[in-house]
Structure 1
């Protein structure tokens, strides 16, 4: 993008934009575009994005450990990325039978506890757009008003549930939160459905307490 175009879009004088972009170029946040002229985003932005992800993982690690210690179950940290959820970190449970997902693995929004929790935090129109996109892509026929009522219940309670919806034999509870960059993340506890009923109360209390604590850490 040319300096003139940048100046026009941000509403600043060209000379001011030139000083700002020169400073950014020194740090490799922007670089010259050899093909089209002007400027484009530089390689340091990728490093910065990676550092931000690393920080959120480190920021939440102690809380994930505490949830697992209190419940004995696996605890996951995920983030909404584009049209789905991506797992960033996991603390395995202490039971012999546990649920495990790979870090970096992608999951849907509308059938997972962490996905529903994030949808419930979003603007209604934005959430509907993502819901319809996921259902249309996968040929899913569901009642949208009924699903939106479910999201409203999640907003009120703060907790979202996956009752054998995403994977048969696995249930989960989760909550979502905004980080310091304004990105949506979720912490969830997946449990083999065979012991979900007996673990449900302790997981709900632990996650509710954690949701209150984690929001304070971003204030």
Structure 2
């Protein structure tokens, strides 16, 4: 978030806290007590009580009558669904993502930047067995993923360096590159090649390639990437076949976006 906006007298901290409570729930925190919510969000118990009461009254959280713990209610899905329904980029991308998925029969996805991460906004899943599935709304870091590096490749170099400096770089697998300067070089290599790569840096067994989608101003706004399981693809096959395909797919989406 822009710190200048947070410092504005127009900034509403109550709304911020309410959204933080909703964001606190997830796979690791499916059910939480008031105390756990307060601790996770970093607010007082009385503040958590007022916020949770309001969210429950509005239908966004529900309380188990036996455990008295809270969980997200399905009404929260309205917000995400409204975003997807109103996003013209997703509408423009879906036909091309579907076509690439049919051509390579691997999972093809569209991600958009969110802070230092990329968030899944569209995905066409392979019909073959897959190692892992990322749901719409899932996030992954920019620094060690093909989609993230592809997006970074579409930015000015000073901005790339700034985002890499701010990234919490840590080993997610034994192959994760932890050297910021080396990652920066990989981003620039991906820019020259037209697609970026990530071979088992984020998930063991996954060889990924991604390419940036640009807006009318020539700035990257998203990335297309495909997951190629190492059990079905070699590195050379990924570079020789899937790389050009993902580059072409991203280019077609870019043209569609610019035509609107």
Normalising by structure 2, report the TM-score.
0.59
- Equivalent pairs counted in the alignment come to 174
Q: Is there any run of 5+ residues in structure 2 with no aligned partner, and where?
A: 1-9, 13-78
Counterpart of 1:77? 110
Going from structure 1 to structure 2, the CA distance change for 1:194 and 1:53 (only over 3 Å counts) comes to farther
Counterpart of 1:88? 121
Q: Is there any run of 5+ residues in structure 1 with no aligned partner, and where?
A: 1-32, 36-45
- Does the 8 A contact of 1:79 with 1:185 survive in 2? yes
* Structure number with higher relative contact order (C-alpha < 8 Å, ≥ 6 residues apart): 1
Give the SS at the match of 2:233.
Answer: helix
- The 2-side partners of 1:183 and 1:149 are apart by 18
Residue of structure 2 aligned with 1:176, choices 201, 212, 222: 212
- Does the 8 A contact of 2:195 with 2:247 survive in 1? yes
Q: CA deviation at 1:98?
A: 5.5
- Does the 8 A contact of 1:118 with 1:184 survive in 2? yes
Q: CA deviation at 1:206?
A: 1.6
1:205-216 map, 5 Å: 205-216=244-255
Counterpart of 1:160? 196
Going from structure 1 to structure 2, the CA distance change for 1:52 and 1:157 (only over 3 Å counts) comes to farther
Give the SS at the match of 1:218.
Answer: helix
Q: CA deviation at 1:168?
A: 1.0
The alignment's C-alpha RMSD in Å is 2.8
Going from structure 1 to structure 2, the CA distance change for 1:141 and 1:155 (only over 3 Å counts) comes to closer
Counterpart of 1:186? 223
1:144 aligns with 2:153: no
Normalising by structure 1, report the TM-score.
0.70
- The 2-side partners of 1:141 and 1:164 are apart by 10
Residue of structure 1 aligned with 2:99, choices 32, 46, 66: 66
Q: CA deviation at 1:94?
A: 2.1
